[in-house]
Amino acid sequence: QSVLTQPPSVSGAPGQRVSISCTGSNSNIGDGFDVHWYQQVPETVPKLIIYNNSSRPSGVPDRFSASRSGTSASLAISGLQAEDETDYYCQSYDSGLSGFVFGSGTRVTVL
């Protein structure tokens, strides 16, 4: 069971906005540790799309945005496109485990 909880799936029509939650606790997100997000197309390598809660690496479309508040974080995808249909993971650090933790993962489906 993952320390960071994400919904197994979210869906939306092309052009719509979807949001993925990442719920942690007082030993990780709530303890002030930053949240980062990765996109993983099945059978391919994870790709960093958000770092430090809300920053986008060069080349990541501004359709992707994220935020952190309290013990949770969220990733939003606006103007949903067919190519966004894949898996997304949040990641942070946990002081109780003294190590890094990933979310359980969310599959985005474009209807």
Partner 1 sequence: EVHLVQSGAEVKKPGESLRISCKASGYNFATQWIAWVRQMPGRGLEWMGIIYPGDSDTRYSPSFQGQVTISADTSITTAYLQWSSLKASDTAIYYCTRHWEGDWFDPWGQGTLVTVSS
Chain residues in the site for partner 1 (CB under 8 A): 2, 33-34, 36, 38, 40, 45-48, 51-52, 57, 89, 91-93, 97-105
What is the end-to-end Cα distance of the chain in Å, rounded?
Answer: 29
Q: Token pair of 60, please? A: 């990541």
For partner 1, give the closer residue by CB, 16 or 44.
44
Smallest gap from residue 47 Cβ to partner 1 (A): 8
Smallest gap from residue 97 Cβ to partner 1 (A): 6
Q: Token pair of 95, please? A: 């002081």
Count CB neighbours of 78 within 10 A: 15
